[in-house]
A and B are shown apart, each in its own frame.
Chain A
Amino acid sequence: MKFTTLIAAGFAMVASISAAVAEDISGAGATFPFPIYSKWADAYKKASGVGLNYQSIGSGAGRKQIQAKTVTFGATDIPQKEAYLDQYGFVQFPMVMGGIVPIVNLEGVSGSDLTLSGETLANIYLGKIKKWDDAAIAALNPKAKLPSLPIIVIRRSDGSGTTFNFTTYLSAVSSEFKSKVGAGEAVEWPVGIGAAGNAGVSANVMQTKGSIGYVEYAYATQNGLAWTDMVNSAGKRVKPSLAAFKAAASKGDWANAKRFNLILANSPGEASWPMMATTFILMYAEPVSVPASNAALKYFDWAYTNGGKMAEDLDYVPMPDSVVAQVRSAWKGIASK
């Protein structure tokens, strides 16, 4: 098996070398936006003849790649702080957003049959709420028939941007979660079973009766999983939908976020979905190769202008126009000559 991986790695290397010869745009990082980046790349290649070579290797690995200057841009689901950006001379900007939804496997429960509040969700992930017929869940769902089943908590085993955004939300709504677990890509979960990747979590929830998990919205819809509605910060019940994601996205105070360091957790507004993920791009202000950097910016510019519909088709939320304008002005900080 190791030999085959070696061969595969060899092929990948050859492929990346030949790709570099064709002067494709090279990037590496987050897995969450990979589907939309490649869809944009296909369309962009048809329009301009320039391709994209994106290694979907995870946010942390993407940051390491751009730090090592082996790629033109790095992609991260975790907004980076000013100190880090200054240390390496990075320019950071948001590219696309998405929603995170809780998914459940309960007999007779399908999409939107259940509603959870942030605190209830935090208590489930703290191991304080152990059964589905717990008073806290029953109070939120007076009409639902809740079984007396133990709740099997499923979460990510690998470090992930989804976990980062999910735990940031739970920390925002529950002070106990914040002090006991906190927010991060990989955290010390008090309970639960770890599964690898969004796909692993959804497969696990699909198979385990009485389980709950969290995934990007697209994984819930594509796998036909039952998700729950959420009570948002305004106290209203919201269904996960593109409209609710957009409402949450529109509340982001991007204008005052330093270097776009903003996490969309628990957004205000009556129609806002509380759990969002934003994915960011990191590029050098003084690029190693100016033509490569310019080509990447051209691709991103094209994606902002023409990619909105494609993003929505895949359940991503495009950045609002006001933010795009802000991003374009931030690009002036990247040397283009």
Chain B
Amino acid sequence: MIRSGDIRRSDFTREGGFPVSAITESGSSTSRTLVSDRARVLKTMAFGDKVFALLTLSAAYLVLLVLAGIIISLIIGAWPAITTFGLDFLTTTRWAPQLEPEPILGALAPIYGTLVSSFIAMLIAVPFGLGIAIFLTELCPHSIRKPIRLAIELLAGIPSIIYGMWGFFVLGPFLANYVEPGIVAVFADIPVLNSVFGGEMLSNLSLFNASLILAIMILPFITAIAVDVFSTVPPVLKEAAYGIGCTTWEVVSNVVLPFTRVGVVGGVMLALGRALGETMAVTFIIGNSFKISSSIFAPGTTISAAIASEFAESEGVHQSGLILLGLLLFVLTFFVLAAARLMLMRLEKRAGA
């Protein structure tokens, strides 16, 4: 795998990319004019290079600048809430913006909802997504490979509001009427699980329904990236494995997955990033209730859903609290992605030894 640091700028730019020896070694009388011509050409090229480098550099720094700007404005916006609630904001489950004179706001319920909904979504989407990718690259008959891949890529192109509406009108009622009562009945007599899958009040909108929609939304990311990295496995490796009598499962688990680990984890992380921040679809179907319930079939809320539904009509500390929620999501996403990077680095180290 080529990383940006491996190619030094000098490899390409110092000599303008020309094989220098081919010209200077000719030694004839024309060589002097050739050299000055060459110097002139090289000069203009060097100028072009400089401009190009400067352009790309400024583009890269601009991103940093925007990022810093966003963080600073979030902190400024959240400051009244930070000074009012302090660390209590992280441990309070109440969300009471109407209280006089000061509202009580706590982020625990939305943080819980964000983490749990993303976790359930990953739990569903990762095995399904990888399964589809393995099927497509290893097992699928050639004739249906393209249609299936296209269908999955189309899933990624559907705007999230459409998922929200579909979840609201179709999936939610279907789950609440036909699927969830069955699950509740199965676990009714098992301690602990009967409260996780508890359902005294099943409704169309719940944490689980939102997680399922999220899973469908992130599935194409996982599959598309996994298919791409699976096809980078040198056929020789697979053929060798098959040649010594490995089954398809053994080839996938011992050759393909270890070879593509880094890419697969990258795809999963991209999907997780999307799941954590997804707003519109979740707002439609999660039920927007600032409560931590033991049951995944109860309504909940996520950070982004809370901001989306309350921001327009909020004022003062309430609005500042919502901005603070946004800042928390920023931090949360950063930590999750940083943890993923760290994990990746350790994986690479172990594999590279």
Contacts and interface: CB of A to CB of B under 8 A. Distances in A.
A11 B205 CA distance: 34
B230 interface: no
B275 to A, nearest CB: 16
B313 A160 contact: yes
A157 interface: yes
Given A150-B201, A194-B289, A204-B205, A1 B310 contact: no
B160 interface: yes
Interface stretch (A14-22, A54-62, A220-228, A323-331): A54-62
Nearest to B104: A188
B4 to A, nearest CB: 27
Choose among B161, B312, B313, B315 the residue with the greatest number of A CB atoms under 10 Å from its CB. Answer: B313
Interface in A135-187: 150, 152, 157-160, 167, 181-187
Choose among B94, B104, B312 the residue with the greatest number of A CB atoms under 10 Å from its CB. Answer: B312
A207 interface: yes
B103 to A, nearest CB: 9
Nearest to B96: A188
B309 A196 contact: yes
A189 B291 CA distance: 10
B283 A185 contact: no
Interface string B297-311: 001010000000110
Choose among A167, A183, A208 the residue with the greatest number of B CB atoms under 10 Å from its CB. Answer: A208
Interface SS majority for chain A = loop
Given A158-B312, A187-B98, A194 B160 contact: no
B97 A187 contact: yes
B95 A194 contact: no
Contacts, number: 94
Choose among A159, A160, A185, A187 the residue with the greatest number of B CB atoms under 10 Å from its CB. Answer: A159
B287 interface: yes
Contacts of A185: 98, 313
Contacts of A64: 315
B299 A60 contact: no
A272 interface: no
B97 A152 contact: no
29 contacts: A1-B159, A1-B161, A59-B313, A60-B312, A60-B314, A61-B313, A150-B200, A152-B201, A152-B203, A157-B309, A158-B313, A159-B312, A159-B313, A186-B98, A187-B97, A188-B94, A188-B104, A189-B289, A192-B289, A192-B299, A193-B288, A194-B309, A196-B309, A204-B205, A207-B169, A207-B172, A208-B173, A208-B203, A211-B203
Interface of A: 1, 57-61, 63-64, 150, 152, 157-160, 167, 181-189, 192-196, 203-204, 207-208, 211
Q: What are the nearest 4 A-B pairs in CB distance?
A: A159-B313, A184-B98, A194-B288, A157-B288
Given A182-B98, A188-B98, 17 more contacts: A1-B161, A58-B313, A61-B312, A150-B201, A159-B97, A159-B312, A182-B99, A184-B97, A185-B98, A186-B97, A188-B290, A194-B309, A195-B288, A203-B169, A207-B169, A208-B203, A211-B203
